[in-house]
Amino acid sequence: MTNTRLTVFIGMIVAAALSRILPHPPNFAPISAIALFAGAYIADKKYLALAVPLLAMLLSDAVLEMMTGWGFYSGMWVIYLCMALVTILGFRLAEHRSSVRIASFSLLASVMFFIITNLAVWASSGMYPHTTLGLQACFVAAIPFFQNSLAGDAFYAVVLFGTAALAERFAPALRRA
């Protein structure tokens, strides 16, 4: 991967992560799209593909913490774990990216994030009894947030993957070697 290509795509990831500090509906965030994009576009440098979105999230979480006091909390490790898993999922997009594959992977990433994070809330928050009904109540309560997650993941996937495709088309230095 050329330095120009790498710099541009890392810059896009950092910009998307920093968009988290702008006002937005709950859970309408770039988290899964960033991780999927990093996996797809920095796949030849797997450790960097994993590190960049995690560091971008850490940076935006630090800014949110300074601005609002809500950047870090005890369950953040689950979100970072999900980002790593979605980045690994993105590796499968690296060789063949199409609109259908990107949309399918984005949906899969959203569902995976929803399931893992809500299982963590149910298991560790004390908000729900550790029963089947408690698990069901946890997932039902999260549905409105899931709608926003789906919309945010779709929006940011279109922005990131669409911008990258246009950049590769019009800037030869950004094309794959």
The low-confidence residues of the chain, meaning pLDDT below 70, are: 1, 71, 177
- What is the residue range of 90's domain? 3-174
What pLDDT does 153 receive?
A: 94
What is the tally of structural domains in the chain? 1
Which CATH number fits the domain that encloses residue 157? 1.10.1760
Q: pTM (2 decimals)? A: 0.88
Rounded Cα distance between 28 and 171, Å, is: 30
What pLDDT does 43 receive?
A: 77
What pLDDT does 1 receive?
A: 61
Backbone angles phi, psi at 86, to 5 degrees: -70, -35
Length of the chain, in residues: 177
Rounded Cα distance between 156 and 173, Å, is: 24
Where helices occur in the chain by DSSP H, the ranges are 3-18, 31-41, 46-68, 76-91, 99-124, 132-170
